């Protein structure tokens, strides 16, 4: 039984038990409210999750797209995961890194390997990475993570460097979060995996991660330590997806109420096949593509200010469809094995990786696709470097003012990318897209300013942002 204070298990189950399809009038009323960018309450969210009619579903998709564009504009932020170690003491039944998986080759990158890996990512054009690791001994783990962050930030390859490191590592204590905060991380990310406590117990068999409440309180501890840029998520496939969405929204409301700040990002991973993990190949609550699209759209309308992250777990078709539904950040060219970007380790990859990927295209292929879909691929790191995080970010994102930064900064970082890495066709298509985006900036002063800065980029200046 889940009796934890901010996840009201009884309330969620009673909603689930009373589930009914909302009538058309109710659904359209909710969508009208959604268009006002004020978010939705749990009852409204649940009603939209129960919609079956394809005409109304298409309206939900349309409103989600509208909300995304009103808040963030037509840009998609890109990042790559950076796995530094696959050692782990936990036994999460869905993950290849689990401690009892004897078939996995274990690897922890040394400083030299981290530098090599960073250079490979820089050659691909990346500026933002998500550092990922398994969980071993927490204090030594944290030292290793902090040293890795320092190493990555320190690497230069000509004019290129990593400008933002987000982190997805095991929960820390307040004191440990204070140490991590000093490393200038971007977002601290942690997924509850499942908010359903009984299921949580069944899939986390051993190690510190088997403590449901300690994980659930992680973001509270991060906030208390002064980290106010956080990301949350659910691993879809473990339990009823409607329960998970409602519980995640309760988590968000708790954070908003307690700290005045919600999560900067929500991740929506679905379970992918992992080495020696039967549950990953046959998840108990499979989320099909249609329901997955509904989840993304409803979250987008319900929590309009939050970035939604879609990883390369999903295949290119689903990813392309999700761009239209409100996803705002995606990974590209990803590897889930430590050392994966280095050609040298290619032959071992299958026995080192956390799970297999749905989208195995290169970063440049993904970028070309994004351009063809009419979105600006963005490597922006502006908000975090200008201190627009926590409350300051919310103040801009809630009324939809953040796109005055997102679009120009997206244009600058994409212009850098096409100058430094684009082939002839991307240069041509990219410039056409930038011209189109410039015209769409309605504030003429801002448009002139962006044009001025673009000419600086053509002259070789780098790392321009508002």
Q: Which stretch binds ligand SAM (CB under 6 A): 10-18, 26-34, 167-175, 423-431?
A: 167-175
Among 94, 375, 379, 384, binds ligand SAM (CB under 6 A): 94
Per DSSP, 373 falls in state: T
Q: Distances in Å between the alpha carbon of 302 and those of 39, 44, 217, 399?
A: 4, 9, 22, 14
> How far is residue 4's CA from residue 21's CA, in Å, rounded to a whole number?
29
- Is 67 among the residues that bind ligand SAM (CB under 6 A)? no
Site string for ligand SF4, 198-217 (x = CB under 6 A): -----------x--------
User: What distance in Å separates the CA atoms of residue 66 and residue 325, rounded to the nearest whole number?
Assistant: 9
Shortest distance (Å) from residue 391 CB to ligand SAM: 26
274 binds, options ligand SF4, ligand SAM, none, Cβ within 5 to 8 A by partner type? ligand SAM
Q: How many CA atoms lie within 13 A of 102 on its CB side?
A: 0
CA distance linking residue 442 with residue 454, whole number of Å: 17
Q: Does 265 bind ligand SAM (CB under 6 A)?
A: no
**Least distance CB 235 / ligand SF4 (angstroms):** 8
The verdict on 132 binding ligand SAM (CB under 6 A) reads yes
Q: Are 466 and 381 in contact (CB under 8 A)?
A: no
Residue 98 binding result from ligand SAM, ligand SF4, none, given CB thresholds of 5 to 8 Å by partner type: ligand SF4
334 contacts 312 by C-beta, under 8 angstroms: yes
In this chain, which stretch among 58-66, 84-92, 142-150, 430-438 interacts with ligand SF4, using CB under 6 A?
A: 84-92
Residue 22 or 233 with smaller CB distance to ligand SAM: 233
| Closest separation in Å from C-beta 303 to ligand SF4 | 24
Residue closer to ligand SF4 by CB (options 135, 416) is 135
If one asks whether residue 235 binds ligand SAM (CB under 6 A), the answer comes out as yes
Three-state SS letters, 185-224: CCCEECCCECCCHHHHHHHECCCHHHCHHHHHCHHHHHHH
Q: Does 334 bind ligand SAM (CB under 6 A)?
A: no
Q: State the nearest-atom distance from the C-beta of 88 to ligand SAM, in Å.
A: 6
What six digits make up the tokens of 216?
A: 């659930």
Distance of CA 343 to the CA centre of its chain: 26
Using the contact rule CB under 6 A, the part of the chain among 23-31, 61-69, 89-97, 442-450 near ligand SF4 is: 89-97
Helices marked H in 235-372: 241-259, 278-281, 289-302, 316-323, 363-372
Write the DSSP symbol of residue 130.
E
DSSP 28-69: HHHHHHHHTT----HHHHHHHHT---HHHHHHHHHHHHHHHH
Q: Among 125, 134, 377, 430, which residue sits at the site for ligand SF4 (rule: CB under 6 A)?
A: 134
Q: Compute the distance between CA of residue 231 and CA of residue 188 in angstroms, rounded to an integer.
A: 6
Determine the interface stretch with ligand SF4 among 49-57, 93-101, 140-148, 441-449 (rule: CB under 6 A).
93-101
Residue with smaller CB distance to ligand SF4, 208 or 400: 208
- From the list ligand SF4, ligand SAM, none, pick the one residue 417 interacts with, judged by a Cβ distance below 5 to 8 Å according to partner type: none
Helices (H) and strands (E) in the chain, counts: 20, 9
Q: Contact residues for ligand SAM (CB under 6 A)?
A: 94-95, 132, 134-135, 168-170, 190-191, 193, 235, 269, 271-272, 274, 280, 313, 354-355
Q: Where on the chain is the footprint of ligand SF4 (CB under 6 A)?
A: 88, 90, 92, 95, 97-98, 134-135, 209
């Amino acid at each position: 039984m889940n009796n934890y204070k901010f996840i009201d298990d009884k309330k969620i189950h009673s909603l689930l038990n009373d589930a009914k399809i909302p009538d058309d009038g109710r659904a359209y009323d909710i969508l009208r409210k959604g268009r006002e960018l004020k978010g939705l309450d749990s009852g409204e969210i649940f009603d939209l999750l129960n919609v079956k009619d394809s005409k109304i579903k298409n309206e939900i998709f349309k409103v989600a797209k509208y909300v995304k564009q009103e808040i963030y504009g037509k840009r998609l932020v890109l990042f790559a995961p950076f796995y530094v170690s696959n050692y782990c003491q936990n036994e999460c039944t869905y993950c290849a890194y689990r401690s009892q998986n004897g078939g996995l080759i274990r690897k922890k990158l040394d400083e030299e390997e981290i530098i090599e890996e960073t250079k490979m990512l820089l050659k691909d054009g990346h500026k933002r990475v998500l550092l990922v690791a398994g969980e071993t001994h927490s204090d030594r783990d944290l030292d290793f993570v902090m040293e890795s962050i320092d190493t990555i930030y320190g690497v230069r390859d000509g004019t290129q460097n990593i400008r933002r490191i987000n982190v997805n590592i095991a929960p820390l204590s307040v004191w440990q979060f204070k140490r991590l905060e000093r490393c200038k991380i971007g977002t601290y990310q942690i997924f509850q995996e499942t908010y359903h406590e009984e299921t949580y117990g069944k899939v986390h068999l051993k190690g510190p991660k088997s403590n449901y409440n300690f994980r659930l309180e992680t973001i509270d501890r991060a906030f208390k330590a002064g980290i106010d840029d956080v990301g949350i998520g659910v691993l879809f496939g473990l339990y009823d997806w409607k329960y998970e969405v409602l519980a995640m929204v309760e988590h968000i409301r708790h954070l908003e109420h307690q700290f005045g700040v919600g999560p900067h990002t929500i991740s929506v991973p679905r379970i992918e096949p992992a080495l020696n993990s039967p549950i990953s190949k046959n998840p108990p609550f499979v989320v099909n593509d249609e329901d997955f699209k509904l989840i993304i759209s409803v979250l987008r309308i319900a929590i309009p200010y939050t970035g939604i992250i879609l990883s390369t777990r999903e295949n290119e078709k689903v990813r392309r469809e999700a761009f239209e539904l409100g996803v705002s950040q995606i990974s590209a060219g990803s590897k889930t094995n430590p050392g994966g970007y280095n050609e040298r380790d290619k032959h071992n990859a299958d026995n080192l990786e956390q799970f297999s990927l749905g989208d195995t295209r290169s970063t440049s292929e993904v970028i070309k696709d994004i351009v063809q879909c009419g979105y600006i691929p963005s490597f922006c790191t502006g908000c975090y470097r200008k201190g627009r995080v926590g409350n300051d970010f919310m103040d801009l994102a809630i009324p939809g003012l953040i796109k005055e930064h997102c679009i120009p900064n997206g244009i600058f970082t994409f212009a850098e990318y096409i100058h430094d890495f684009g082939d002839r066709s991307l240069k041509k298509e990219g410039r056409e897209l930038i011209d189109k985006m410039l015209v769409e900036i309605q504030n003429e002063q801002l448009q002139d300013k962006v044009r001025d800065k673009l000419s600086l980029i053509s002259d070789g200046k780098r790392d321009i942002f508002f």
